[in-house]
Amino acid sequence: MSAISSDVIRGYNDTMILYILLNEPSYGYEISKLIKSMSEEKYIIKETTLYSAFTRMEKNGYIESFSDEDRGNGKRRTYYRITDAGRQYYYDKCEEWTLTKEVVEKFIKK
Amino acid sequence: MSAISSDVIRGYNDTMILYILLNEPSYGYEISKLIKSMSEEKYIIKETTLYSAFTRMEKNGYIESFSDEDRGNGKRRTYYRITDAGRQYYYDKCEEWTLTKEVVEKFIKK
DNA sequence: TATATTTACTACGACAGCCGTAGTACGACA
DNA sequence: TGTCGTACTACGGCTGTCGTAGTAAATATA
């Protein structure tokens, strides 16, 4: 087994995206590349999963979108920035992860 | 936050159930109590989730069901035992967990 | 200059697993 | 007699993921 089935990660895609947005805004394609490289190619988020996460998280108030103005007549990207609620959500998810990890590991044999 | 939302654990319910079945057969009610106590009350599996996991895993050949004969006219329990395929699946899941953990932790701030 | 590839998305619908609600049925205990 | 604990089953809704497909501009390659 070399790749992680993303169903395992279900519920943590949002967390990964938010992590990337913590420091500066970004956009779909860049985020997907970052997730891939940061995970050392072990996790590749599906495009549809990513973009539907944007929609959902914007609706939930965790991120805000804006268009870049500096690309002249080039194709516009949709950038996302994290909101305060998004930061809060992210840190809550981190706490939850710690708990989850502890629990799951009681059922894992190495 | 004191309880884990089970959506986070999605995909690991099967693993937890199989872990319990590794040593000896068991049945629904007992397994749910064990998951609760082993996780120190931090994770309580929903009944419907548990029983639908049984159906799915039996269909996939990871477990086999049998009725207990020794309860006289009392209500019969449905016991489950793990199969060889189930053991294999369990150990695969453990490996996957290690990988998943490594990946997710790159996106987590403590 | 023509073509392929990469970038950057959007739309749509299917599916799997989880979960809420509800109901059944037996035994024990007060 | 009624409540509580045990031990399930049925049904349907929801959410997040994923496959397939398509659009279109920018860039690299031939």
- On whether residue B68 sits in a domain, the answer given is yes
Check residues 30 to 89 of chain A and report those whose beta carbon is under 7 Å from nucleic acid strand D.
Answer: 45-49, 52-53, 56, 73-75
* Domain presence at residue A110: no
By Cβ distance, the residue of A9, A91, A106 closest to B100 is A9
Average pLDDT over residues A43-68: 96
Residues A93-106: tens digit of each pLDDT: 999 999 999 999 99
| pLDDT above 50: residue A77 | yes
> Considering the domain boundaries, does residue B22 fall inside one?
yes
- Report the half-sphere exposure of A104 (CA within 13 A, side-chain side): 28
Nearest to B4 among A15, A94, A99 (CB): A99
- The alpha helices in B39-83, defined as continuous H runs, are 47-59
* Residue B1, pLDDT score: 38
**Domain region containing A20:** 6-105
B100 vs A: CB within 8 A: yes
A-B Cβ pairs (cutoff 8 Å, strict)? 99
Task: Indicate the DSSP class of residue B3.
Answer: S
pLDDT tens for A3-28 read 677 778 888 999 999 999 999 999 99
Query: What's the whole-number mean pLDDT along residues A74-96?
Result: 92
Question: Own/partner pairs for A35-38, CB < 8 Å, 24+ apart?
Answer: A38/B106, A38/B107
User: φ and ψ at A86, to 5 degrees?
Assistant: -65, -40
- The answer as to whether A57 is a domain residue is yes
Judge if the beta carbon of B27 is closer than 7 A to nucleic acid strand D.
Answer: yes
pLDDT for A2: 46
Residue B2 confidence class, pLDDT cut points 50, 70, 90? very low
Residue B88 counted as domain residue? yes
Contact of B105 with B92, CB cutoff 8 Å: no
State residue A30's pLDDT score. Answer: 97
In CATH, what number is assigned to the domain containing residue A37? 1.10.10.10
Q: Report pLDDT for A43.
A: 94
The pTM of this model reads: 0.91
When divided into structural domains, chain A yields a total of 1
* A1, part of any domain: no
Instruction: Using the Cα atoms of residue A19, residue A98, residue B6 and residue B85 in order, give the sign of their dihedral.
Output: positive
Dist CA B74 CA B68 (whole Å): 10
Instruction: Please give the helix or strand (H or E) that residue B91 lies within, else none.
Output: helix B84-105
Chain B residue with minimal CA distance to A93?
B108
pLDDT at A44: 94
Q: Which has more confidence, B33 or B6?
A: B33
**DSSP annotation string for A27-91:** EHHHHHHHHHHHTTTS----HHHHHHHHHHHHHTTSEEEEE-STTTTSPPPEEEEE-HHHHHHHH
Cross-chain Cβ contact A4/B99 below 8 Å: yes
Average pLDDT over residues B54-73: 86
For all residues of chain B together, what is the average pLDDT? 91
Domain assignment present for B10:
yes
Distance of CA A38 to the CA centre of its chain: 12
Task: Read off the pLDDT of each residue in A45-64 and give the average, rounded to a whole number.
Answer: 97
